[in-house]
Amino acid sequence: MSRPLNLEEVGRRAGVSRSTVSRVVNGGSHVSSETKRRVEAVIAETGYRPHAAARSLASNSTGVIGLVIPSAVATLFDDPYFGRLILGISSATNDVSMTLALFLFGDGPDESSIISRVVTPGLVDGVIVTATTRGDPLIDHMQGTSMPFVVVGRPDNAGSTFCVDVDNRAGARTAALHLAGLGRRRPALIAAPSNTTAGVDRRNGFLEGLAEAGLSVESRISEGDWSQESGRRAMDRLLAERPDAVFVASDRMAVGALRAIREAGLDCPGDISVVSFDGIVPPDLTAPRLTSVVQPVTEVGERAVRLLTTVIGGASTPEHVVFPTELAVRESCGATPAAEPER
């Protein structure tokens, strides 16, 4: 009974050949129903499962997709963003019975070894790359290989890649118009790092929206690094400029900004109206609750998987999927939520 449990063995027990068992396992077409029944009985009884590596080798397809999250990982996981993204991706891979392989790397020597591991033939069928910084060498590297991949976010040279992003620019513009609509006249901006495309898009969108409303940030602008602490410091600096509103390019930085406002003895939204971006920090975590531009992170992840499967399937003309954002009006901006059917 120590015979290995493979197709041949299952076939032997069911009185058929390896090939017939294989056909049953793969959907059962071109097999008589009687034979199929018998083979399935043996499979159920023995608990046979096809050997993944053998299957990958023979079919040249692994059923695994990789998710690459580069650099600065330690800080990234304090941000719920990646958790949500992984959730969406995982849910989509489950739907199509694929497995998710996670490639996280901090900076350092392991970076290059992981990059090359990602493109190892026979390991994954395709890769989802999260592009956080501009000019990320990872994207260039991927383009130099034949590994199918899609980018979550907007790389600089987006033209030639498949990518899934949210409309950061439009979302930020909406935030500007919302603040202007509330009668605020001295808006400030706590921007996200300008070496990320998301940071640039949010900044530009906000400035664009202000311009449309006849407003400007003038010198009321400061840049954070996504962290809560950086938001707090940025707000501290801005307070000297006496702003009556601030758009913070991420929820986490906004939490820090709220703290700075409170510690300066000012009131939000009374003295300063706050709108943030992400919609990812649980609203009840802050007081007042944050009004923010919500991006559909989980959907982005799901969509990235679906897009990747088409690339694996042979799609070759780059496709850019852009999700809209939605403004969730709560207390921090000073508007009465119910009175605001914003878009």
Partner DNA sequence: GCCTCTCCTGGGAGCGCTCCCAACAATAGA
Partner DNA sequence: TCTATTGTTGGGAGCGCTCCCAGGAGAGGC
Query: Considering the complex, what minimum distance in angstroms separates the CB of residue 132 from DNA?
Result: 33
In terms of DSSP bridges, do strands 162-166 and 320-323 run parallel, antiparallel, or are they unpaired?
Answer: parallel
Q: Of these partners, a copy of itself, DNA, none, which one is at the site of residue 20 (CB under 5 to 8 Å by kind)? A: DNA
Indicate the SS3 state at residue 122.
coil
Size of site (CB under 7 A) for DNA? 29
Residue 230 binding DNA, by CB under 7 A: no
Indicate the SS3 state at residue 305.
helix
Residues 6+ apart with CB under 8 A from 202: 168, 169, 171, 172, 191, 192, 249, 277
Which of the stretches 51-59, 129-137, 165-173, 269-277 binds a copy of itself when contact is defined by CB under 8 A?
51-59
In terms of DSSP bridges, do strands 245-248 and 221-223 run parallel, antiparallel, or are they unpaired?
Answer: unpaired
Residue 291, strand partner residues: 275
Q: Of these partners, DNA, a copy of itself, none, which one is at the site of residue 91 (CB under 5 to 8 Å by kind)? A: a copy of itself
Query: Considering the complex, what minimum distance in angstroms separates the CB of residue 326 from a copy of itself?
Result: 19
Which of the stretches 93-101, 156-164, 166-174, 186-194 binds a copy of itself when contact is defined by CB under 8 A?
93-101
Give the per-residue SS3 of 171-225. HHHHHHHHHHHCCCCCEEEEECCCCCHHHHHHHHHHHHHHHHCCCCCCCCEEECC
Can you say whether the dihedral through the CA atoms of 247, 171, 69, 117 is positive or negative? negative
Query: Considering the complex, what minimum distance in angstroms separates the CB of residue 119 from DNA?
Result: 13
Burial 84-109 (b: 16+ CB within 10 A, else e): bbbebbbebbeeeebebbebebeeee
State both tokens at 79: 């941000």
Residue 217 binding DNA, by CB under 7 A: no
Phi/psi for 27 (5° steps) reads 115, -20
Work out which of 25, 64, 87, 123 binds DNA, going by CB under 7 A. 25
Which of the stretches 57-65, 148-156, 265-273, 324-332 binds a copy of itself when contact is defined by CB under 8 A?
57-65
Q: Of these partners, a copy of itself, DNA, none, which one is at the site of residue 106 (CB under 5 to 8 Å by kind)? A: a copy of itself
Query: Considering the complex, what minimum distance in angstroms separates the CB of residue 63 from DNA?
Result: 11
| Residue whose CB is less far from a copy of itself, 105 or 206 | 105
Q: Of these partners, a copy of itself, DNA, none, which one is at the site of residue 113 (CB under 5 to 8 Å by kind)? A: a copy of itself
| Residue whose CB is less far from a copy of itself, 46 or 216 | 46
Residue 51 binding a copy of itself, by CB under 8 A: yes
Q: What character string, x for contact with DNA (CB under 7 A) and - otherwise, covers 32-71?
A: xxxxx-------------xx--xx-xxx------------
User: Do 66 and 148 form a contact (C-beta atoms < 8 A)?
Assistant: no
Q: Which residue has the tokens 């034979």?
A: 35
Q: Which helix (H) or strand (E) holds 327?
A: strand 326-328
| Cα gap 1→82, rounded to integer Å | 47
Residues 6+ apart with CB under 8 A from 116: none
Size of site (CB under 8 A) for a copy of itself? 54
Work out which of 13, 31, 82, 127 binds DNA, going by CB under 7 A. 31
Q: Of these partners, a copy of itself, DNA, none, which one is at the site of residue 282 (CB under 5 to 8 Å by kind)? A: a copy of itself
Work out which of 80, 141, 182, 319 binds a copy of itself, going by CB under 8 A. 80
| Residue whose CB is less far from DNA, 7 or 131 | 7
Which parts of this chain interact with DNA (CB under 7 A)?
Answer: 4, 6-8, 11, 15-20, 22-23, 25-26, 30-36, 50-51, 54-55, 57-59
